A and B are shown apart, each in its own frame.
Chain A
């Protein structure tokens, strides 16, 4: 039953991904002129010599004289078959080179943040629900609303100031200066971990605050359900009861947020990364959008969309594991 569900769900992903890639391509095609006109305009503005032969080669490669659909086909087959995302004009390098290292760090940052959000929000939310209107609940609610209300970049600036002024630690970036260009080794990993917590806390604060409210509300909904009373009437201890029954059912709406939490973390990361000058995708994405770097921006859009689709897939599979009604549901 479960295997069938997963296979079906993965097959459904394919048309979604195709549609997403088409929309992304149309978006990067939307500005007037094509990629090469932008390149030529820039080169000429800088008074540089424009090599006709090189231009024609590029024109040929991306099929810029062909119809939109042919261009799309070349673009997408380039990505799928050769991992070729096109040229970035801002960085004058292949997009894949620009993205690669940064994307890894971004995913690391996002996944760590997600883990942080859950690890903090779920226990606090559960406590808030079980001890509703207690001092602890009010405290969690208060801190939660503050976390929701303060913009990310402000927290980033405050933390920057505090840690520089009082801790004497430089918080910009993910690495200490001596490790930035170093090869990966244990020292670099430890250095990364020492820097990682600051952006994780900053990006995760709003999510944590929101998640506390979601967990609390969902669990409150379930706590007084008749099945909880039934389990209590069996003689089950309260703590085991809480974990096994209401929490399991209250978990479904939380798990279903994985899908949209991932992209929202990545977009929250953009602002924070600019403020903290992190070597992640955020600042590059911003720069690509500002300077109409079509292939770079488009690649980001595509990667973000794919992440969303994959996130939804993961959350759907988890939901089906949690709730047999979904597993056995009508197709």
Chain B
């Protein structure tokens, strides 16, 4: 077996907690996954499962009172096998700031509110370049116009001086992507970048991201709740539920052979063409994500799981078992299959 190179990003047992007045919210509670070089990894799950907080924890930009309280985030930029643990860095310190926007960049969900309304998009993108390079003003401007062109912004020279309110939703998101890519990051974290866009624009932005990823040879951590998007762009999938990773694996295997009951339920909840005429109702996952203040004991998914076994699932937290190469499942059922 060929020794595979160390992953670009290796998240181990990440815990991010929010100490609020009404109690402790364990937004991310022991999540583990890794991002290989040059690949797209999709993090999926319902609202409130900790996907976004996971993405922000990596860059250490979790909003107060949230804090990374445990685990490690190993960042191995050059594949030397000597990674930096981002979880131990001071979130306000210079070390993490050097990585932000330069080695790891982020694209957010709502480009209208995620960009400043009172600065031109050019100046906002140029700021990244100025922070991370020593280029002079002309070179910075040239670099910004170049990247605006790369993301398919028409007439990039004149759009440099445009404000967000003068652009359409799709163009704003392109500007946002340009801002993330301007310093050639090794990893792009995209937090539901297409959710706020209409379907046509969504497709354009997805295509653009796939194309740019290939051109720039970077890894993408794509956070989404849309299994359709996952099918289109992911090499690997990380399924999250209530702050834990319940299943990871190559996309094809996740879609054809889901092992965790939650993954199966998610896949069954994808609407299919002709479903209604065939007399089949859209299947939904019963119940909803539990109150973050009152997490169920044992397996977090057991109250909604069709195959839950009383006495086991509501008592013991299941262990994560590796069922195949790069294929982990956190469920007692999978554990039994492996052992038998």
* Interface residues, chain A, with chain B CB atoms under 8 Å away: 224-227, 229-238, 244-245, 248-249, 322-325, 328
Contact = CB atoms under 8 A, between A and B. Distances in A.
A245 B114 CA distance: 12
Given A225-B113, A322-B118, A234 B63 contact: no
Contacts, number: 79
A325 B165 CA distance: 8
B101 A249 contact: no
Interface in B155-172: 163, 165-166
Interface stretch (B70-78, B92-100, B248-256, B286-294): B92-100
Interface of B: 56, 59, 61, 63, 92, 94, 97-102, 105-106, 108, 110, 113-119, 127-128, 131-132, 163, 165-166, 176, 179
B108 A236 contact: no
Contact of A227 (B97, B114, B131): B114
Nearest to A246: B116
Contacts of B99: 235
Given A225-B113, A226-B108, A322-B118, A232 B163 contact: no
Nearest to A329: B165
A234 B165 CA distance: 21
Contacts of A230: 106, 108, 114-116, 176, 179
Nearest to B118: A323
Given A226-B113, A328-B163, A233 B105 contact: yes
A237 B116 contact: no
A324 B163 contact: yes
Contact of B115 (A227, A237, A322, A328): A227
Contacts of A236: 97, 101, 127, 131
Contacts of B127: 231, 234, 236
Contacts of A235: 97-102, 128, 131-132
B163 A325 contact: yes
A234 B101 contact: yes
A232 to B, nearest CB: 5
A248 B117 CA distance: 10
Nearest to B112: A226
Contacts of A248: 116, 118
Contacts of B165: 324-325, 328
Nearest to B162: A324
